[in-house]
Amino acid sequence: MIEFTLWDIVRNLLLAARWTIVLSLIAFVGGASLGLLFTVLRLSGNRLLKVMIGVYVDVFQGTPLLMQLFLAYFGAAALGFNVSAWAAASVALTLFTSAFLCDIWRGCLEAVPRGQWHASRVLGMDYLQTMRHVILPQALRLSVPPTVGFSVQVVKGTALASVIGFVELTKAGTMLNNATFAPFTIFALVALIYFALCYPLSRYSRYLERRLYDAGMR
Amino acid sequence: MTLVCVKDLHKSFGDLEVLKGVDLDVAPGEVVAIIGRSGSGKSTLLRCLNQLEQHDGGNIEIAGQRLDAEAMAPSELSRNVGMVFQSFNLFPHKTVGENVMLAPVVVRGVNKQEASRVAREVLDKVGMLEKFDAYPAQLSGGQQQRVAIARALAMKPKVLLCDEVTSALDPELVGEVLLVLEALAEEGMTLILVTHEMKFAHDVADRVVFMHHGRIHEQGDPKTLFNHPRTPELRQFISAVR
Ligand SMILES: Nc1ncnc2c1ncn2[C@@H]1O[C@H](COP(=O)(O)OP(=O)(O)OP(=O)(O)O)[C@@H](O)[C@H]1O
Ligand SMILES: [Mg+2]
């Protein structure tokens, strides 16, 4: 059996953590773009679109991410598509993220008080003018803390991609454990790396929240 | 000559008939105070006047412009009617100056320089010019409400609607807002205000309108109305608020 020094373990975990970061970024950027598109479509006033997006959001929020990953990976295979773990994980996490962000952003738009609509209206602004100059800027500010906060869920969500064989941080930990039988050391290190990724994000989101509060927007 | 002409106005919310035939004429420069118990339809009447609610029956004409069942473009309506709310509703992400300049620029296409000039003028009128660059959150309630009044004035409406504009204020801040309204009244601005400030209604209004169960129950000049109420409902209302 090969001997692993602590440094070997740490080095391998850090290398694998790159893929956690890359997958997180793909999921977040892809999810945010798709989520934004859905948010806009939802606002467009088309009934059917609104219902369809509502169902989409409910489905992805109401089922475990793990099942979504299985469906993207094994389901695609069953339908005859040979998708890589990479592709399946990216797609599943992107869809998952888009559903949550779409819902978070809808909440932010609705959190802008109705009085803002009334005030704009009596000043002569129409729907688009009100959206652009009054509602969106406020909703955008409101949305930053929960959006950053949700990015923590995305990072942690990538751990599930390990079950379809995608070698990111968690999978690397499992593999190293199989080789070294030092579970405590390894998983403590894995947890530490996740923490190092997530903690700054949650701190940042709390900071942004406080700033909003100070600005009197809540 | 009338500026606002309301005839047989009806409005229901579902089964609840809130306005049951309101007739109201307001002359240019007139100050009309609307009083009445909670739920009597005062706010609903004001909201029909600027189409925040769509009336079901009767008609409304403001400056010769008929508000039909079909909603008028907000930009058209804003030429005639301005409104100030109980809860100020300033735009929290914009400075005082920007709050006042936004609608003239966006709705009327006024250039920034001219908008800024007008903003300074109306802010000066309400005594808020030195707060031009402050954000609403940095102002007291009374100051916010004065800015809200300035913001409405910047659109140069022919009539200004005020719905309990002092009700959300701490008692010591009520006076400064009422002073601004009084100055506007003296300047000849047409005002329709729903108010619980009986002294203000008595001292400043040209006419007081008492609403009861969705109708104008009694109206007249303030001294007569307050000192010699004709109907038992008004008598009861006056003794209750005194
Ligand atoms: N959007 C709405 N939907 C349903 N009912 C409403 C709505 N707006 C007002 N009402 C009802 O209509 C009635 C009259 O309301 P309105 O706000 O005009 O009263 P008000 O005289 O302004 O009372 P207050 O002094 O409490 O402000 C109330 O019974 C109220 O509950
Ligand atoms: Mg009211």
* CA–CA dist B230, B220 (Å, integer): 10
Work out the pLDDT band at B217, boundaries 50, 70, 90.
very high
Contact partners, residue B211, CB within 8 Å, separation at least 6? B22, B34, B35, B36, B40, B41, B42, B45, B217
* Domain that includes residue B126, residue range: 86-156
As for how many domains chain B has, the answer is: 1
Residue type, A133: H
Q: Taking the CA of residue B228 as centre, how many other CA atoms within 13 Å lie in the half-sphere pointing to its CB? A: 4
Query: Is A200 inside any structural domain?
Result: yes
How many whole angstroms from A67 Cα to the centroid of ligand 1? 49
Query: Quick check: A12 and A176 in contact, CB under 8 A?
Result: yes
pLDDT above 90 for B212 = yes
Helix axes A136-157, A183-214, angle to 10 degrees: 170
Round to whole Å and give the CA distance between B217 and B207.
14
Kindly list the distances between the CA atom of residue B55 and the CA atoms of A76, B7, B17, B174, in Å, as whole numbers in the listed order: 56, 11, 11, 32
Burial category of A144 from C-beta neighbours within 10 Å (exposed 0-12, middle 13-18, buried 19 and up): middle
Question: If you average pLDDT over residues A115-121, what whole number do you get?
Answer: 96
pLDDT tops 50 at residue B49 = yes
Whether residue B109 is contained in a domain is answered as yes
pLDDT tens digits, one per residue of B135-183: 999 999 999 999 999 999 999 999 999 999 999 999 999 999 999 999 9
Q: Which two tokens stand for residue A198?
A: 């997530």
Q: What stretch of H or E contains B19?
A: strand B16-26
Residue B84: per-residue pLDDT:
97
For A156, the domain range is 6-214
Give contacts of B 41-70 with A, CB under 8 A: 50, 52
pLDDT value for A112: 95
Atom 17 (ligand 1): residue with closest C-alpha? B43
If one residue of B38, B49, B241 were mutated to test the ligand 1 pocket, choosing by the most ligand atoms within 8 A of its CB, it would be B38
Buried b (16+ CB within 10 A) or exposed e, B211-237: bbebbbbbbbebeebbeebeeebbeeb
DSSP H or E segment with residue B212: strand B207-212
Q: What's the B103 CA to ligand 1 centre distance in angstroms?
A: 28
Cβ contacts (< 8 Å) between B82 and chain A: which residues?
122-123
Residue B107 within a domain: yes
- Residue A142 reports pLDDT greater than 80: yes
The whole-number pLDDT of residue A217 equals: 59
Burial of A119 from C-beta contacts in 10 A (0-12 / 13-18 / 19+): buried
pLDDT at A102: 96
- The mean per-residue pLDDT over the stretch A132-160 comes to 93
pLDDT digits (tens, 9 = 90+) for A74-98: 998 899 888 899 999 999 999 999 9
Rounded to whole angstroms, how far apart are CA atoms A161 and B179? Answer: 66
pLDDT band at A176 (very low <50, low <70, confident <90, very high): very high
| Crossing angle between the packed helical segments A6-43 and A85-111, to the nearest 10 degrees | 50
State residue B215's pLDDT score: 95
The pLDDT-based confidence of A99 (bands split at 50, 70, 90) is very high
Question: Which residues of chain A are within 8 Å of residue B102 when distances are taken between CB atoms?
Answer: 123, 133-134
B127 within a domain of the structure (yes/no): yes
DSSP-assigned states of every residue in A166-214:
--SHHHHHHHHHHHH--HHHHHHHHHHHHHHHHHHHHHHHHHHHHHHHH
Average pLDDT over residues B4-29: 95
Q: What is the mean pLDDT of residues A33-62?
A: 93
Q: What is the predicted pLDDT for the residue at A218? A: 47
Residues of chain A with pLDDT > 90: what percent? 80
Q: What is the C-alpha to C-alpha distance for residues A162 and A177, in angstroms, rounded to an integer?
A: 14
pLDDT of residue A29: 97
- Enter the tokens of residue A135: 């509602």
Closest CA to A69 of A84, A55, A57, A54: A84
Distance B18 CA to ligand 1 centre (A): 7
pLDDT class of A214 with cuts at 50, 70, 90 = confident
Number of domains in chain A: 1
Residue A211 reports pLDDT greater than 90: no
Residue with tokens 């100020």: B88
Query: Has residue A1 been placed in a domain?
Result: no
* B114 located within any domain: yes
The C-alpha angle B136, B139, B142, rounded to 5 degrees, equals 110
Written as one letter, the residue type at A150 is: F
Nearest to B92 among A123, A126, A216 (CB): A216
How distant is the Cα of B224 from the closest Cα of chain A, in angstroms? 34
Distances (CA, A) of B88 to A48, B50, B165: 36, 17, 8
Q: Which residue has the higher pLDDT, A111 or B72?
A: A111
Mutate which of B40, B210, B213 to test ligand 1's pocket (most atoms within 8 Å of Cβ)? B40
Pairwise CB contact (< 8 Å): B87 & A115 = yes
Mean pLDDT of B56-81: 86
- Separation of alpha carbons B55 and B76, rounded Å: 18
Strand pairing report for B57-62 and B4-13: antiparallel
A109 has a pLDDT exceeding 50? yes
Q: Domain containing A167 — which CATH number?
A: 1.10.3720.10
Side by side, the strands of the sheet bearing B65-67 are B16-26, B4-13, B57-62, B65-67
Rounded to a whole number of angstroms, the distance from the CA of A138 to the nearest CA of chain B is 7
- On chain B, the residues whose CB falls within 8 A of the CB of A134 are 91, 102
Closest Cβ opposite residue B77 in set A116, A124, A134: A124
Q: In this structure, is residue A145 part of a structural domain?
A: yes
What is the average pLDDT across A46-75?
94
**Strand locations in B27-111 (E):** 31-36, 57-62, 65-67, 81-84
pLDDT band at A138 (very low <50, low <70, confident <90, very high): very high
Q: Does residue B96 sit within a domain?
A: yes
